[in-house]
Amino acid sequence: MLRRISTVAAAAGMLALSALPVSAATMQSNTHKISFPGMHGVSAWGTYTKSGSKVRIKVCAEDTARGNFAVGAVTLAYNSSNTKNGELGAVAIGYHETVCRSQALLYTGHLRVYTFVAGNHGKITGKSKTKTIY
């Protein structure tokens, strides 16, 4: 009797596994790397993943120059007509400090990024060109 129950359980398990769609077996990550524009004293990197009506973004910034008060990396996600946007940024304050942030943004039409350096009086002292990712 016990052998029969274990055989039925194993058969049910095999049936459940074989019922999975093909896409579940061959799922691949749609995570893409973000390349930020270069700027002295700023090291920035990140990733993005589009899924449905959202884009999941992770962005990191590191201050690599002693003379900077703070550095940052910003991502801007726009709708397809560029009329609405959401943004996510990471700001590192202090030499060799690193800050990472992640968030799902609502707009998937376009993604743009830039980096900046800020002074100790709260003003942006330098900003890179904005780079279009997609």
Give a yes or no: residue 13 inside a domain: no
Give a yes or no: residue 115 inside a domain: yes
CA angle 78-117-128, nearest 5°?
50
Give a yes or no: residue 89 inside a domain: yes
Give a yes or no: residue 6 inside a domain: no
What is the Cα–Cα distance from 61 to 107, expressed in whole angstroms? Answer: 22
Query: What confidence tens digit (pLDDT) does each residue in 55-83 have?
Result: 999 999 999 999 999 999 999 999 999 99
CATH of residue 64's domain is 2.60.40
pTM, two decimal places: 0.76
**The pLDDT value given to residue 57:** 98
What is the Cα–Cα distance from 126 to 118, expressed in whole angstroms? Answer: 7
**What number of other Cβ atoms are within 10 A of residue 77's Cβ?**
25
3-state secondary structure of 61: strand
